[in-house]
């Protein structure tokens, strides 16, 4: 009897220790992510990625239905480690800060900076980038820090067509120059020259309106928060004025993606100025869901049945001036969708 009591007590102590350890780990990661977000300059949108969980847990599950693609990605990570001595899986957290500048009535230009932190040698990683650039970089001093400016497009042009869609993607994604600097021994910042310079100068910071929304999902694999530019409906091919009005009522978007067990969860919340706008937005989303169910309700194809389940599983809710969407996707449906990528 005494041994049973002792065993039960021991099990309780072990359980509490494990739970405490897990909570402490989550708290540490949340604090670490918040500290890195605080390094960003003012941004319109911010994303936080738990790299260890993404590469170590989420990605293998998400790509379990396409083992060839998973194997190729794993091989690339191993190849990068063998050539540079740096394992990208040692990154713990990556945060991205994006700004949007309106060019004309229907076009925005986006600028970004990424800050990556983890068990890495930031100086060694930067040295590897300099070697790979074959001398095609320049240096710029900002205070006591040195920013290294590369021309990645010149390097990419050696391996990709100079014309066509690939070149357009390169021009849009990376522009003409990319800047990198070491923040500390385990932290790098890289992105456009202007954004990296802003990061080093530290004259501006992320607004509380953005950071407070990020904190709601800080322990997910990925969390995001964004201030929506005015007049977003004009950038979409909409023929319905009511739908356009609902989209324009959205002022902030935030949410997260997580993988728990055999389920991937997606959560997104739209914040409007007024509560009645949120109600109108939810009514519109409910209506679109009804249309989707009607169109796919009796579908026979395997792909259409998966889409029907996704539409069926989406849950919309409204609270005050916020409309939330929650979607739980079963691993079997993810396997099917990912499997389509290989066809």
pLDDT in tens, 288-330: 899 998 988 787 888 888 899 999 999 999 999 999 999 999 9
- 87-146, pLDDT tens digit by residue? 677 788 999 999 988 777 667 778 899 998 888 778 877 777 777 777 778 889 988 889
Predicted local distance difference test score (pLDDT) of residue 106: 67
Q: pTM here?
A: 0.77
- Amino acid 43: pLDDT: 95
SS3 assignment, position 37: helix
| pLDDT at residue 136, as a whole number | 79
Alpha-carbon gap, residue 90 to 52, rounded angstroms: 7
Instruction: Give the model confidence (pLDDT) of 170-186 as tens digits.
Output: 455 455 688 889 988 88
At residue 25, does pLDDT exceed 50?
no
In angstroms, rounded to a whole number, what is the distance separating the alpha carbons of residues 190 and 195?
8
Which of the 8 DSSP states describes residue 42?
S
pLDDT digits (tens, 9 = 90+) for 249-299: 899 999 999 988 888 999 999 999 899 999 999 998 999 899 998 988 787
Name the nearest CA neighbour of 194 among 211, 181, 185.
181
Q: Where are the domains of the chain?
A: 36-210+220-227, 228-343
pLDDT, tens only, 131-184 = 777 777 888 998 888 999 887 554 444 434 444 444 454 455 455 688 889 988
From the number of C-beta atoms within 10 Å of its C-beta (0-12, 13-18, 19+), residue 194 rates as middle
**Cα-Cα-Cα-Cα dihedral sign, residues 131, 132, 138, 140:** negative
């Amino acid at each position: 009897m005494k041994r049973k009591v002792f065993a039960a007590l021991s099990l309780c102590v072990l359980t509490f220790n494990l739970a405490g350890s897990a909570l402490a780990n989550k708290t540490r990661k949340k604090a670490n992510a918040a500290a890195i977000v605080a390094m960003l300059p003012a941004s319109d949108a911010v994303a936080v990625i738990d790299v260890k969980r993404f590469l170590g847990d989420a990605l293998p599950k998400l790509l379990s239905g396409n083992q060839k693609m998973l194997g190729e990605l794993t091989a690339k990570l191993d190849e990068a480690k063998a050539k540079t001595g740096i394992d990208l899986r040692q990154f713990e957290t990556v945060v991205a800060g994006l700004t949007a500048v309106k060019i004309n009535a229907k076009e925005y230009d986006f600028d970004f900076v990424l800050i990556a932190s983890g068990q890495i040698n930031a100086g060694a990683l930067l040295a590897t980038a300099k070697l790979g650039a074959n001398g095609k970089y320049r240096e710029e001093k900002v205070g006591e820090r040195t920013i290294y400016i590369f021309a990645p497009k010149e390097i990419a042009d050696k391996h990709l067509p100079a014309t066509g869609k690939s070149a357009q993607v390169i021009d849009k994604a990376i522009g003409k120059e990319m800047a990198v600097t070491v923040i500390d021994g385990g932290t790098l910042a890289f992105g456009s020259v202007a954004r990296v310079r802003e990061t080093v100068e530290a004259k501006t910071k992320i607004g509380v309106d953005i950071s407070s929304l990020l904190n709601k999902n800080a322990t997910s694999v990925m969390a995001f928060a964004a201030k929506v530019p005015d007049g977003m409906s004009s950038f979409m091919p909409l023929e319905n004025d009511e739908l356009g009005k609902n989209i324009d009522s959205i002022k902030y978007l935030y949410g997260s993606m997580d993988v728990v067990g055999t389920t991937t969860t997606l959560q997104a919340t739209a914040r409007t100025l007024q509560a009645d706008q949120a109600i109108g937005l939810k009514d519109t989303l409910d209506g679109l869901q009804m249309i989707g169910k009607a169109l796919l309700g009796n579908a026979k194809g395997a792909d259409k049945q998966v889409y029907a389940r996704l539409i069926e599983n989406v849950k919309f809710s409204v609270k005050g001036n916020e409309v939330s969407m929650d979607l739980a996707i079963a691993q079997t449906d993810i396997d099917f969708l990912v499997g389509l990528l290989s066809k």
